[in-house]
Amino acid sequence: MGQPVASRGRAATPTVGKAMLNKYARAFFTRVLTPFAAFLIRRGVSPDTVTLLGTAGVVAGALVFYPMGEFFWGTVVITLFVFSDLVDGNMARQLGRSSRWGAFLDSTLDRVADGAIFGGFALWYAGGGDDIALCAVSIFCLASGQVVSYTKARGESIGLPVAVNGLVERAERLVISLVAAGFAGLHKFGVPGIQYLLPVALWIVAVGSLVTLVQRVVTVRRESAEAEAAAAAQESENASQGREAAK
């Protein structure tokens, strides 16, 4: 959720398949949602308002439905509000208001939404789901997702590209978790055995997030060493040139 800007930061180069999916899916939804975005603009609604409402909808869907074990309906609500991510960006482009503030708000509220989703899972397993191990896995998914995002942001803030394609990044975490939760919710409609999809998905996200965290830490360490070596070499060269000039 939020307005995309050119200065959002450097991203790792995506795989060809992911790039194609992003390109064509985003182009399709842009065409579909542009009239709706224009309608909201005419009504005086701001992109920031859509961002905030979208996040509120995701949080409500996760923290109201998931703790009750209503995974199907919770996922439906969350999915509907996730489209605000495209609507507010579309509005910002039409208004020419892409900004650093929009990128900051977007990133911040993404963390809130992610926390609500995995927090909802944790509340279910701590209560009606009665599975302390899966409650712990859900909490780990919540925490590791925040740290994975922080490592990239922190690395970029000190001038490093953090050029790595993580095994399970935010998009993968959400798709795996929400799809599994939606299907797991069909158990209440009489589909047998499908409720086990969510525990499997949470374990996959947990392990994948841990691997991604290690990938990013290793990448930042390597890029940091390379940057410091380049700076030392440049300093040595400048000193050498200074001595030559003094002769």
Strand, coil or helix: 12: coil
d(Cα 121, Cα 142) in Å, to the nearest integer? 10
Burial classification of residue 7, based on how many CB atoms lie within 10 Å of its CB (0-12 exposed, 13-18 middle, 19 or more buried): exposed
89 annotated among ligand-binding-site residues: yes
Please tell me whether 50 is known to bind a ligand: yes
Q: Which of 110, 114, 130, 131 is catalytic?
A: 110
Q: Annotated binding residue at 51?
A: yes
Query: What whole-number distance in Å separates Cα of residue 149 and Cα of residue 10?
Result: 13
> What letter represents residue 143's amino acid?
A
49 marked as binding residue: yes
Q: Is 39 exposed, middle or buried (0-12, 13-18, 19+ CB in 10 A)?
A: exposed
Question: Six-digit token pair at 105?
Answer: 């708000």
Query: Would the annotation count 110 as a binding residue?
Result: yes
93 is in an annotated binding site: yes
Determine if residue 48 is labeled as part of a ligand binding site: yes
Catalytic-residue membership of 130: no
Give the residue numbers of the binding site for Mg(2+).
Answer: 85, 88, 106, 110
Give the residue numbers of the binding site for a CDP-1,2-diacyl-sn-glycerol.
Answer: 48-51, 89, 93, 99
Q: What are the catalytic residues?
A: 110
Give the residue numbers of the binding site.
Answer: 48-51, 85, 88-89, 93, 99, 106, 110
